[in-house]
Chain A
């Protein structure tokens, strides 16, 4: 793919990204839960 940069990171980067991905999964679950309960009001 064009515009791809490979970054060799310290091993601590794995912990950092795993935390970001955990937070992301939790946000997704929260939105799904709120959406299914009708708690999110939308406007155009």
Chain B
């Protein structure tokens, strides 16, 4: 795992680390766009390689990103982190697998990751998302029900 640093002077937590290949990565946590009933602290995680769009494969990158996410989650047991796979280059499915495998291999066993495939009606789109949370703070069924309800309520917004 790489040592990571915290970036100051921003209104959200920003972490960064540099790899053996000289690439700098940024991991940031951004508040969700609107409040969700029953959940007080939810952020969306973004991961960026700042130097290269297609950096070389490096097993320590996934391990470091997992450690950063778990560090962020450990500050508040009720905190939830969400991840949405970018779609602009049509590689969202492979990103989803990559994120899932990073987490499956490197997680510390303290949190639950669930994947949600969102399939909007009347479109061919699929949005790959993931949610990570502490299993003592939320039941799986609560997360499933809440996510499902939030999606259904979009119809009225």
Which residues of A pack against B, CB within 8 Å? 1, 3-14, 16-17, 19-21, 23-25, 27-28, 31-32, 35-36, 39-44
Contacts and interface: CB of A to CB of B under 8 A. Distances in A.
A42 B7 contact: yes
B117 A10 contact: no
Interface residues on B, range: 35 or more
Contacts, number: 119
Interface string B78-108: 0000001011100000001100100000000
26 contacts: A6-B119, A7-B116, A7-B151, A10-B121, A10-B154, A11-B120, A11-B121, A12-B120, A12-B155, A13-B120, A13-B127, A14-B125, A17-B120, A17-B127, A19-B33, A23-B33, A24-B44, A24-B84, A25-B88, A28-B46, A28-B48, A31-B46, A31-B50, A35-B24, A40-B14, A43-B6
Interface in B109-148: 112-123, 125, 127, 144, 147-148
